[in-house]
Structure formats: C-alpha cells, structure tokens
Amino acid sequence: MASTANALSLPIARKITAGSSDRIVPRLPSSSSVSFRLPAELKRVGFSVTNRATQLRICASATPVMDKAASEVGPKAPTIVNVDLEDRSYPIYIGSGLLDQPELLQRHVHGKRVLIVTNEKIAPLYLDKVTHALTVGNPNVSVDHVILPDGEKYKNMDVLMKVFDKAIESRLDRRCTFVALGGGVIGDMCGYAAASFLRGVNFIQIPTTVMSQVDSSVGGKTGINHRLGKNLIGAFYQPQCVLIDTDTLNTLPDRELASGLAEVIKYGLIRDAYFFEWQEKNMPALTSRDPAALAYAIKRSCENKAEVVSLDEKESGLRATLNLGHTFGHAIETGFGYGVWLHGEAVAAGIVMAVDMSYRLGWIDESIVVRVQNILKQAKLPTAPPETMTVEMFKSVMAVDKKVADGLLRLILLKGPLGNCVFTGDYDRKALDETLHSFCKS
C-alpha cells in the first residue's frame, strides 16, 4: 500500500490564545500530496497567519463592527469575517436583518450602475428589498436586473449569455457593479459574468442558501458547467464583499437546508475537529433552524474558508482540501443529471465514499466511519450514491476532474485523527476500485 509523501502539516510550538500576536509560517510544497492540520486551541480562537513568501495574512477573527451612532440605537451590528488577500481583500458580513442596513451594500458600490442577477424563485422574495437597499438615500445609483431560471441544469453558457445580453443592452460600463442574489448557481454565474464582462467589473455576493452562505459565495470560485463535467469553465474572481443576511434562510426549503449542511460537516472533518464535535451535539438544532445554531455554523464555516483561501487563493494545494467528497459528488451530479440531486446531497454521498476509501487505506479508525454515517443521517442527507451510478460512470467523469494532474487523479482523503486530511495522488489504486465496487452494483 502506497504511503503519502511530502505531506504538509502545521505543528504549533506553543499555545495560541485570543489576541495573541504569534504567527505561523507554513510552506506549501509543490508535490502531489498536501495535508493540513491545525490544533484545537488554534481553531477555537481568532488568529493571524503570515506566509512570508507571498505576504498573505489570515484575519479570520469574527469581530462585530458598526458605526458608533448605529451601535447606540438601531440594528444589531453584523459579525465580520475578513478574507485577507492584500488588494483583493474583502469582508463577509454575517447577521440578521442585514438587508435592512443599506450602508453595508452601498459602501461597496463604486459606480452609478448596478445589475442584480437573480433567479425566478428569489426575485419575488428579495429583489425589491435589495434594490431598495442599493438606492435608498442614494439617488445617483440606478439598478437593472436579470432573472434567470432556477436550478443547476441552467448553469451553462446559454443561460449565462442572458446576463451579458442585459449588461450590454443596458450599456453598463467598467465602473458598474454586478450583484449576485441567490444560491450557489447564481453566485457562480454572476461572478463569472463579472469576471468576463469588459474583462472584469466589480461584484457583490448576497447568498440566500446555507450552501452558498457557508461555502460557494466565499473565495472567488466562479463558473459554469459543461455537459462532460461540473465547473470545468470558470475563473477565480473575488467579490467586493459577501453579505449574509441569515433571515433569508427563513424561506429556504428543508431539502436545500440539509444540502448546505453537507459543506458544514466537511469543514469539521478536514480541519476542525472541535467544530465537528459541536455539530454532533447540535445537529437537531441546525435541522430545526435554531437561529443561534445556524449563525454559529455559518460564522465558523466562513472562518475556516477564509483561512484557507487567504493562504491558497488559486488552489495550488491547500485549498483543494476543501473539496472532500467533491470528486465523487461531482461524478454523481454529472452522471445522474445536473439538478436531479442537489450539490450537497451528492457531496454527502461523496464524503461517505472518500471516508470509506480512507478506511480501506488504513488511514483512519473505524470510529470515524461510523461518526460520519451518523451525522449525515442526522442531517437527513444521503449516505450512498444513486443505484443507477456504475463504476464506469464514476471513472469516466472523474477522469476529467479538475484535480487530475498529468493523468493522475488526486483525491482529498482523511488521514490520522479527526480533523486531518491529505490531498494526494499517492494511494493504492486497489482501494479506489474497492470503494467504487462496494457502492455500485456494476
């Protein structure tokens, strides 16, 4: 059985406490195998990390920020998680009622023209509210909008052209701002349109699903699907800000809520054991939409994502670990048909398959396999792929996965205690075959 070579870990020489000025300097190797580990005491507090080679800093402390006058009377201050990428840095605002605080959006609109990109389900709920937030007390700004059909199956070039058509017909210029109002599909498409229109215009993310709030709206991954594979066409393009109004989850269907929890669970498995243990205790609160539980899960997920993106913006190694279960999951979405299973449902089944393979390699204890099965069931998520998926379907789609390098399929697998993972192509191929055959009838 092959072992993982040249794996990166982050040993901590001394205890880190909140407010500490200590800094950690990791080196990201260029090998095919990267692992990432942070100890519990570092994960429980805000902290800073500097990579001297690239001068990127993590600033993932969740600090409530508001003008003094507003803090005395008025709405509650949002929590802010910063994604620190030097001149491309931006805040993630998290809180209840943020769409009723227009200054949060208006400070990130630099020109006089705005294009809101949304879908037919979200538009009746929030389009007028967002338009008001952008224009109230701000008469110099004019807002156009384009409403796209809803669903993963519409995340393609033909539908994307509707955004460009509207932008060109409206004669928008390079100082305009695109606003993504919706879930992950809208965020990905609006972001890619912003990256491409006039070779790049500003854009803002207003995610309205758990999936987009905890994952897809943060980090600058934008793009569309191809019939042969998911997210194969796109760009890394960072927003001006991400505004997460947790009140938008009040209108989210239960199935969409569960789908988003797959990404929350992922963070605990790959890098935050303390967070995973919290989820095990609080999953009933999350599925019943307890506001405090959801707010914490969103905040901690964004902190995890911000930390990783700040170190590895364009997925040279470390950021790939955020894709636990996604290689198997994307194969399910592509093979089974875009939109038949929600993204989080496919990722949940993919996580189970990745964990199964990790166990077959001897890299994790059986207890982790059991805990993963249990928490996904609590979250009302699938723990196996659709029965129609075959070994050949998995292999054909995985062969064109973005993580293939020089013909070698690299996977994110768990290794060691809970909260540790590797991104590697150095594994026994027999384990992959055994996993695929154990979950597929043929």
Q: Token pair 């506001």 is at which residue?
A: 291
Show Cβ contacts of residue 248 under 8 Å, excluding neighbours closer than 6 positions: 99, 125, 126, 207, 208
Q: Do 116 and 131 contact (CB within 8 A), yes or no? A: yes
Q: Which of 108, 266, 271, 330 is catalytic?
A: 330
- Let me know if 37 is a catalytic residue: no
Print burial letters for 159-178: b (CB count within 10 Å at least 16), e (below 16): bbebbeebbeeeebeeebbb
Q: Do 49 and 63 contact (CB within 8 A), yes or no? A: no
Count how many Cα atoms sit within 13 Å of the Cα of residue 235 in the half-sphere of its side chain. Answer: 14
DSSP-derived secondary structure letter, 108:
T
Q: Which of 266, 326, 371, 403 is catalytic?
A: 326
Q: Do 310 and 400 contact (CB within 8 A), yes or no? A: no
Q: Which of 108, 230, 300, 319 is catalytic?
A: 319
- Let me know if 226 is a catalytic residue: no
Q: Which of 14, 68, 171, 199 is catalytic?
A: 199
Q: Which of 343, 360, 371, 410 is catalytic?
A: 343
Instruction: Check the CA dihedral 389-395-397-402 and report its sign.
Output: positive
DSSP string, 84-101: --GGG-EEEEEETTGGG-
CA Rg value for the chain: 21
- Let me know if 221 is a catalytic residue: yes
- Let me know if 323 is a catalytic residue: yes
Cα–Cα–Cα angle for 387, 389, 393, nearest 5°?
A: 170
Q: Which of 108, 113, 300, 305 is catalytic?
A: 305
- Let me know if 199 is a catalytic residue: yes
Q: Which of 323, 345, 371, 410 is catalytic?
A: 323
- Let me know if 315 is a catalytic residue: yes
- Let me know if 86 is a catalytic residue: no
Q: Which of 315, 333, 402, 420 is catalytic?
A: 315
- Let me know if 319 is a catalytic residue: yes
CA–CA distance, 419 with 271 (Å, rounded to integer): 4
Q: Which of 57, 108, 166, 221 is catalytic?
A: 221
Catalytic positions, please? 199, 221, 263, 305, 315, 319, 323, 326, 330, 343
